[in-house]
Amino acid sequence: MGKKTILWVDDEIEFLQPHILFLREKNYTVETATNADDAVVIIKKKNIDLVLLDEMMPGKDGLVALGEIKNLKPGLPVIMITKNEEESLMEDAIGSKVDDYLTKPVNPSQILMACKKFLESRDISQRRMTESYSKRMQEISLKLMQPLDFRDWIDIYLKLTDWDLELRGIEEQHMREVIYDQRKECNVEFGKYIEKTYLDWIHDQKERPRLSVDIVKDFVYPEMAQGKKVVFMVIDCLRLDQWLTLEPFFYEDFNISKEYYFSILPTATPFARNAIFSGLYPLDIEKRYPELWAQGEDDDYSRNRYEDKLMYDQLRVLGLKLRSEPKYIKILNVEDARNLEKNLMAFLDAPMLSVVINFVDILAHSRSDLPILKEIAPDEPSYRSLTRSWFEHSPVYNTFKMLADQDVVIFLTSDHGSVRSLRGTKVIGDRETSTNLRYKFGRNLKVEGKHAIYVKNPKDFKLPQRNFNVNYIIAKEDYYFVYPTNYHKYLSYYRDSFQHGGVSLEEMILPVVRLNPK
């Protein structure tokens, strides 16, 4: 790191020589000026990193000088040094965009700490963060060598996500590669773990985590049974890291608590979200509601047309006697979101309001098809940023602000996440095989065994049988399925896209957030 240059502006600069010498001993270059005009000239001519500015000077005082300096270089940090502790002065200084202030008399240590805060904090923080991450990364690698249960995997994923968010300011490319390699290592072991334990979970043969089928029963129903009004929000395809990016928007208006659950397989809307709304596994949904899996309806949206009916039936099976049917809203575009905002109070007349928001899922799919979106969001930090920008300017955010004034309990969750798919694997199937990139069902499916879970008998996984000889394959880690025909074309086309349906930490471990208005 090169020497940083400090400009100290004070009409009695000769009395500050001990302080200046002290800063120079600490490897700073210190320029001096005795008035505001000279300071502005120096700032125009030289590369100054920080200004120490006296508030009381003959001619132009510190506040006038501060305004000129900020007009000249808005990003240049300015620390004002003053004898005056009046609140009005501090308000004027803050209004003029002062970055910090110190009250006279100041000692060398105070000055040094203030300078370090602006000139070295980023480098110090980055260095310490990198060292800390390296240590914690070794801890996780050692943990992966031990037998783990679902609680351990939630803890590992929370740590990975927290560190990823902490390190978003790290500019060193090798650190981003280290983060990816760490998650990749974890997803390899997580895939093995799910392959070994998932069948036991869904057949209740051992202690298991909450799954998609438990969400309404464990969260929504108990509140409604006590007579409370519940708003149930499902943001399709929202990952844990995306939620954590949105969470600060809720701090002012809500008390927040979080729990976690595992999506069922495949981690795709027709399976996972229907399981949430019905409380049933897909095979049981097929038996009770065969129209959901009608032949020829192969898209996600047609298979989720009955979510309002599934929710109503589930609540009745759980024993709730409702005076009227719950209200259900699906948001596919801005107009739908505005309609929810406009008519929210009328919708809250129902004993429960369910809202499904499809923006994040649409964003994930659109990123594959629109090159401009991939340029705007080339990696996961920018993908989170795009999600945050959408929410901040969406009518959905305004809806939450309105809910903060109501006597309601809000649960917000996701039906599944998505994984950044960077590796393709060849798959062979007949013409009737489904088109999904992270899971497929069809006859005579063939795929590299290490890259996917092969489901020979769908009933074992409580998946729809559809017809005889149908198998499923579910991708692991960050693989996506590509047919041999035009293999390299589609390998390149879908590489680095966000997909869902498979087995990964990002797709399976999801938050259930309780929001209580303050």
Of 202, 227, 262, the position where a domain reaches its end is 202
How many percent of the chain have pLDDT more than 70?
Answer: 90
* Domain presence at residue 501: no
Same domain (yes/no): 135, 236: no
Same domain (yes/no): 157, 250: no
Residue 83 CB burial class (10 angstroms; 0-12, 13-18, ≥19): exposed
Is the pLDDT score of 408 beyond 90? Answer: yes
* Domain presence at residue 33: yes
Number of domains in the chain: 4
Going by pLDDT thresholds of 50, 70 and 90, the confidence category of residue 2 is low
Same domain (yes/no): 165, 282: no
Same domain (yes/no): 389, 252: yes
Residue 396 confidence (pLDDT): 96
Residue 374 confidence (pLDDT): 82
For the full predicted model, state whether its pTM sits above 0.75. yes
Task: Tell me which amino acid residue 116 is.
Answer: K
Residue 138 confidence (pLDDT): 80
What 3-state DSSP class applies to 7? strand
* Domain presence at residue 502: no
Report the candidate in 439, 397, 386, 417 with the shortest Cα–Cα distance to residue 260.
417
Q: Give Cα separations from 39 to 8, 118, 258 (angstroms).
A: 8, 19, 52
Same domain (yes/no): 271, 382: yes
pLDDT digits (tens, 9 = 90+) for 385-407: 999 999 999 999 999 999 999 99
Cα–Cα distance measured from residue 423 to residue 419, given in angstroms and rounded to the nearest whole number: 11
Cα–Cα distance measured from residue 325 to residue 224, given in angstroms and rounded to the nearest whole number: 13
Same domain (yes/no): 272, 302: yes
Q: Provide the Cα torsion 84, 90, 94, 97; round to 10°.
A: -10
Contact 306, 292 (CB under 8 A): yes
Same domain (yes/no): 434, 353: no
Full residue range of the structural domain in which residue 51 is found: 4-119
Average pLDDT over residues 171-176: 60
Contact 136, 163 (CB under 8 A): yes
For residue 257, what is the DSSP state?
A: E
Same domain (yes/no): 194, 283: no
Same domain (yes/no): 387, 479: no
Which range (294-298, 389-393, 487-491) has the least confidence?
294-298
Same domain (yes/no): 324, 448: no
Residue 121 confidence (pLDDT): 65
Contact 283, 276 (CB under 8 A): no
Which range (104-113, 308-317, 327-336) has the least confidence?
104-113
Q: What long-range pairs does 194-198 form, CB within 8 A, spacing at least 24?
A: 194/265, 194/453, 194/503, 194/508, 195/453, 195/476, 195/503, 197/150, 198/265, 198/461
Is the pLDDT score of 217 beyond 70? Answer: yes
Same domain (yes/no): 300, 312: yes
Contact 198, 192 (CB under 8 A): no
